[in-house]
Amino acid sequence: MAVLAHAEAGEIAARLRTISLPGHQDLREPENGLVMLRGRVGGDGAPFNLGEATVSRAAVRLASGEVGFGYTLGRNSEKARLIALCDALVQSRDFGAAVERDVIAPLREQLMVRRKQQAEETAATKVDFYTMVRGEG
């Protein structure tokens, strides 16, 4: 589900359109709020409160009973609802495989491409001390 939190609402919606969806309803209306983000002293010590982030959340129930929850950074309640819907669908015997194949897998692929590009650009700025050549004399 982490893949969905990294995707845009429009991308998730577009992928979901390729599946003929079962009936579903909001178990909880999407809601915006805050989550206090925590760090650790020294990176690995006791936790402390760093500052908050906006978060949107939703819950969706399929007609067949599966309940899905959607949480995402930001204030896009439609995205939270889409994540909740996907979360419910992956639990369903009839739709689980399709959502994994047609929604999550392609978005994961897209995320990996983006991350690889960034990692390669970052790698080009790595300092290689061994390539320095001492001047003659």
Q: Which lies closer to another protein via its Cβ, residue 52 or residue 94?
A: 52
Structure-block tokens of residue 74: 């930001």
Closest separation in Å from C-beta 57 to another protein: 7
Q: How far is residue 45's CA from residue 94's CA, in Å, rounded to a whole number? A: 45
Among positions 20, 25, 125, 131, the unique one binding another protein when judged by CB under 8 A: 125
Q: Pick the stretch among 14-22, 38-46, 89-97, 99-107 that binds another protein (CB under 8 A).
A: 38-46
Distance of CA 43 to the CA centre of its chain: 23
Copy the structure tokens of residue 37.
């983000």
Contact 96, 89 (CB under 8 A): yes
- Residues binding another protein (CB under 8 A): 1-2, 5-6, 31-55, 57, 59, 69, 71-75, 115-129
